[in-house]
Amino acid sequence: MPRGPLAAATAQLARAGLLLLHDAQRPSLTTIVAGEPVRGSWWGHRHGGEIFATATALEDHPDVLVAKLLDRKVTFVHRRLWPALIGVGTARALWQVDRLDATARALLDRVEAEGRVRLAARRDAGARLLEERLLVLGEQVHTESGRHETELVAWREVARRARLRGRPPAAATAQAALEAAALLAAPGARLPWT
């Protein structure tokens, strides 16, 4: 069993279902690791290396997904909420698809067709929009050269990889589950559809 900040973050995530990577006012991984709220960028903080190592370990945990969920910030999502996250992601609600430009729609179609698409070193606005609207899951991958790149993953691929059976919950049920978890994890945080 891991000890220290990773154990504390894992326990917090298991309790609440969601955990922000960084937020100075709400519970977050950076606060857990630093032992106090971290103002501004955590990269330059004296615990920055430990924050990075803990975040990487949590991201690699088999019961954790990472999505831009609360306040459009990096949010760790516990496995028990994955069906709800997939239910929202696959809903194709108006808030998700309204005003997607042709480039973003083409990228979404490509991700849906291929299951996952690795992006060039720099993400464009369309890719960010697809992530923020939960139309795809953005994952950081470590390349053979040691760089980090983003892969956009279709929700059906996420469900397959997680061995989730059956249909995800309806959008309204899924949103309610995530809203309840958000109230517990980060009161006042906004979800993409609010």
Residue by residue, DSSP assigns 84-126 as HHHHHHTS--HHHHTT--HHHHHHHHHHHHHSEEEPPSS--HH
pTM of this structure? 0.92
Q: Residue 166 has what pLDDT? A: 86
By mean pLDDT, which of 69-73, 85-89, 145-149, 179-183 is the weakest? 145-149
pLDDT in tens, 108-138: 999 999 999 998 766 688 899 999 999 999 9
**Is the predicted pLDDT of residue 3 greater than 70, yes or no?**
no
**In the chain, where are the structural domains located?**
1-79+176-188, 91-167
Burial class of 160 by CB neighbour count within 10 A (0 to 12, 13 to 18, 19+)? exposed
Percent of the chain topping pLDDT 70: 97
Q: How far apart are the first and last CA of the chain?
A: 37
How far is it, in rounded angstroms, from Cα 36 to Cα 30? 8
Q: Residue 2 has what pLDDT? A: 46
Q: Which residue has the higher pLDDT, 122 or 46?
A: 46
Q: Residue 149 has what pLDDT? A: 83
Confidence tier at 169 by pLDDT (50, 70, 90): very high
**Is the predicted pLDDT of residue 36 greater than 80, yes or no?**
yes
Confidence tier at 13 by pLDDT (50, 70, 90): very high
